[in-house]
Amino acid sequence: MQTPSRSEAPSSSPVEVARLAIWRLFQEGYVDEDMATAGLLAVDLGTRRTSAQNRRAPYELTRREASRRVA
C-alpha cells in the first residue's frame, strides 16, 4: 500500500480525514491491506455517488423515487 501523498495535517474535508484514518489504522496494524483497500474504495464510491446525485437535474427521479410516487 502506498503512503498518502498529502501531509498528515488535519484537513477540513471529511473524505480526507476518513482516508487518513484508514491509513493510520493500517499503519498501526489494526486493519490489513485488504481491509484498508476496501475502506478506501468505499469512501471513493460514496464520494462518486454523492457527486452523481448532485449533478442530476432536480426534476429527474431515481427508480426508487418514481416507484414510491406510483405506489
Q: Which pLDDT value is given to residue 4?
A: 60
Answer yes or no: are the C-beta atoms of 16 and 6 closer than 8 Å: yes
Q: Which pLDDT value is given to residue 36?
A: 96
Measured in whole angstroms, the distance separating CA 36 from the mean position of its chain's CA atoms is 12
Give the Å distances, CA to CA, from 34 to 5, 29, 30, 67. 20, 12, 12, 37
Query: What is the per-residue pLDDT across 7-46, written as a single tens digit (0 to 9) for each?
Result: 555 567 888 999 999 999 999 999 999 999 999 999 998 8
Q: Which pLDDT value is given to residue 47?
A: 84
Q: Which pLDDT value is given to residue 9?
A: 57
Q: Where along the chain do its domains lie? A: 14-70
Measured in whole angstroms, the distance separating CA 63 from the mean position of its chain's CA atoms is 23
pTM, two decimals, is 0.58
